[in-house]
Amino acid sequence: MIKHLAEMGTMVDRALKSIDGGQPIDREEATRTIFQRIGVFLSDNRLGPDPVNYAFAYRVMIDPVGPLAKAVAALTDGGVRLTKRDIMALGGDVGNAPVTPVAEADRKAGEGLVAQTQMQVEGFQDLVMAMRSETRDFGRDLAAKADAIRESSGAGASEAVMRITTAMLDRVQSAESQLEAATREATDLRAKLEEARDNARRDPLTDLPNRRAFEECYAEHLAKGDAMCLAVCDIDRFKLVNDSFGHAVGDRVLKAIADVLASECDGHMVARYGGEEFVVLFSGVDMAAASDLLEGARALVAKKRYRLRESDEPLGEVTFSAGLTAAGPGEEVGEVFVRADRLLYTAKADGRNQLKMG
């Protein structure tokens, strides 16, 4: 701990000198200056003052001409703000937002309830169908026996038996009608449950599979031992589109790029991972083939010239950058994603609108 604090002090000393052109200045005043600049940095990027964000901003401020500061400058060129994912890609230990025990328990309970309900519906539907079959057979047998009794008995006995039989047949037919209605209801409920399960795995804006569906697809291919390549794609300067033209236009851009990716990478899993980020899971092809497909999508997007519907005003160039990597045998999705994501940010730092592989 003491060694770490000493190193921090040395770094601060270097930062204090760099602020004033390498000349030593008043330590207290310079520390205040760094603190103020950190505050401005967090405010400009709309980042909360939590320990991770503060530590990242501190690393940028103490070495304003270092590689980290240059990478930040390249990413924020054109008014783009940093995100948590940017900080993670540049070396900040951010990770995903923590899931509270209550939220996790609610999620599992909800999934369990859906699965249990579906099993009950399926079992009920099978039971109803079996009951309908048995009831129909019983009614047919009863009618046949009534005919036999009528032919072999006297008129009075025959009439009595027929009255009883008719009443019983009426009850059987009524039960059949009720069971038929129940069967229709069970079938409709099963269809609605299937639709709900599908909606839970689909992005409502782009109609692409969502992150959950993507991770499930990866797990299925992993279990079968399939060869896979994973690409992470991110729209360049998307925040600038939203800030300049509004979120409605931004949504249309997301939909347009989603359509191109899905069309050009047909036969492979294309999903919206979150925000302006998409993932493509290639299976059954090698890196070269996956790269060709993704490059085709990137070139097609870059070639398009988007305009606003309302005014026909040009939207300007819209492009995306991507990172592509091959999954190793038995490698979990998180490891592969992080590697592809870092390649994506290399593509961003090197000028955007390009694909990096590794």
What does the pLDDT look like over 217-272, one tens digit per residue?
Answer: 999 999 999 999 999 999 999 999 988 888 989 999 999 999 999 999 999 999 99
Of residues 12 and 337, more confidence is placed in: 337
Q: What is the pLDDT of residue 196?
A: 67
Burial class (CB in 10 A: 0-12, 13-18, 19+), 178: exposed
For the question of residue 276 being annotated catalytic, the response is: yes
Same domain, 155 and 227: no
Q: What is the pLDDT of residue 58?
A: 85
Q: Is residue 94 part of a domain?
A: no
Mean pLDDT of 197-212: 87
What DSSP string describes 150-206?
Answer: HHHS-HHHHHHHHHHHHHHHHHHHHHHHHHHHHHHHHHHHHHHHHHHHHHTTB-TTT
Is residue 280 within 8 Å of residue 266, measured between CB atoms?
Answer: no
Q: Is residue 96 part of a domain?
A: no
Residue 23 backbone dihedrals phi, psi, to 5 degrees:
-95, 130
Q: What percent of the chain has pLDDT over 90?
A: 37
Name the residue range of residue 164's domain: 101-199
Amino acid at 47: L
Of residues 156 and 287, more confidence is placed in: 287
Q: Is residue 295 part of a domain?
A: yes
Same domain, 286 and 353: yes
Q: What is the pLDDT of residue 254?
A: 95
Residue 139 structure tokens: 């009614």
Q: What is the pLDDT of residue 36?
A: 81
Assign residue 219 the CATH number of its domain: 3.30.70.270
What is the distance in angstroms between the CA of the first residue and the CA of the last residue of the chain?
37
pLDDT in tens, 37-88: 888 888 777 787 777 788 888 888 888 878 788 878 777 765 667 777 777 7
Rounded distance between C-alpha atoms, residue 358 and residue 287, angstroms? 9
Q: What percent of the chain has pLDDT over 70?
A: 66
Residue 100: pLDDT band (50, 70, 90) is very low
**In the chain, helix, strand, coil percent, each to 5?**
65, 10, 25
What DSSP string describes 279-326?
Answer: EEEEESS-HHHHHHHHHHHHHHHHH--EE-TTT--EEE---EEEEEEE
Indicate if the pLDDT at residue 113 is higher than 60. Answer: no
Rounded distance between C-alpha atoms, residue 357 and residue 244, angstroms? 32
Q: What is the pLDDT of residue 92?
A: 59
pTM higher than the cut 0.85: no
The number of distinct structural domains making up the chain is 3
Indicate if the pLDDT at residue 22 is higher than 90. Answer: no
Count of Cβ atoms closer than 10 Å to residue 227 Cβ? 15
Same domain, 163 and 277: no
Is residue 229 within 8 Å of residue 340, measured between CB atoms?
Answer: no
Same domain, 215 and 353: yes
Q: What is the pLDDT of residue 1?
A: 32
Indicate if the pLDDT at residue 183 is higher than 80. Answer: no
Q: Indicate which residue of 264, 276, 295, 310 is catalytic.
A: 276
Q: Going edge to edge, which strands form the sheet with 320-326?
A: 269-274, 277-283, 228-235, 320-326, 355-357
Same domain, 249 and 334: yes
What DSSP string describes 83-140?
Answer: -HHHHHHTT----SPPPPHHHHHHHHHHHHHHHHHHHHHHHHHHHHHHHHHHHHHHHH
Distance (Å) of CA 22 to CA 12, 14, 16, 92, 247: 13, 8, 8, 27, 45
The rounded mean pLDDT for the chain is 78
Q: What is the pLDDT of residue 216?
A: 93
Mean pLDDT of 121-131: 65
Q: What is the pLDDT of residue 5?
A: 33
Residue 4: pLDDT band (50, 70, 90) is very low
Q: Is residue 79 part of a domain?
A: yes
Is residue 89 within 8 Å of residue 341, measured between CB atoms?
Answer: yes
Rama region for 66: left / alpha / beta (φ>0; ψ in -120 to 50; rest): beta
Same domain, 35 and 64: yes
Residue 134: pLDDT band (50, 70, 90) is low
Indicate if the pLDDT at residue 19 is higher than 60. Answer: no
Residue 347: pLDDT band (50, 70, 90) is very high
Q: Which of 94-103, 145-154, 314-323 ranks highest by mean pLDDT?
A: 314-323
Final residue of a domain: which of 150, 167, 199? 199
Q: What is the pLDDT of residue 138?
A: 63
Q: What is the pLDDT of residue 291?
A: 98
Rounded distance between C-alpha atoms, residue 169 and residue 79, angstroms? 80
Final residue of a domain: which of 89, 122, 156? 89
Same domain, 217 and 175: no
Beta strands 355-357 and 320-326, pairing class: parallel
Same domain, 353 and 236: yes
Is residue 90 within 8 Å of residue 52, measured between CB atoms?
Answer: no
Same domain, 222 and 334: yes
Of residues 234 and 115, more confidence is placed in: 234
Residue 280: pLDDT band (50, 70, 90) is very high
Final residue of a domain: which of 168, 199, 230? 199
Same domain, 116 and 76: no
Same domain, 222 and 143: no
Residue 344: pLDDT band (50, 70, 90) is very high
pLDDT in tens, 318-343: 999 999 999 999 999 999 999 999 99
Q: What is the pLDDT of residue 201?
A: 87
